[in-house]
Amino acid sequence: MLKAAQILVSALVLAGSAAALVGCGQRGPLYLPSSPEAQKRATLPETLNPASSEPREKTK
């Protein structure tokens, strides 16, 4: 059986890990950028497998 000290330490480590995970990440609301610079960026499928994607046309 676990001793009280081991349970306490495990609970503190679990709580600390959960707090660290909740605290990381980006701030603010998510949005899709619509600026002209954003139109030139690669999409997710293009970044995952650049060899299979065709070159995108540049828009002005």
Q: What residue has token string 């995108």?
A: 56
- All structural domains of the chain with their residue ranges: 1-52
Q: What is the DSSP code string of 3-52?
A: -HHHHHHHHHHHHHHHHHHHH-S--S------SHHHHTSPPHHHHH-TTT
* Whether the Cβ atoms of residue 59 and residue 39 lie closer than 8 Å to each other: yes
pLDDT digits (tens, 9 = 90+) for 3-28: 988 999 999 999 999 988 887 766 77
Are 58 and 40 in contact by the 8 Å Cβ rule? The answer is yes
- pTM over 0.75? The answer is no
Question: Could you report the per-residue pLDDT of 39-53, keeping only the tens digit for each?
Answer: 888 888 888 887 765
- Which has more confidence, 55 or 22? 22
Q: Over 90: is that where the pLDDT of 2 sits?
A: no
CA distance 41 to 51: 16
Instruction: Tell me which of 35 and 29 has the higher pLDDT.
Output: 35
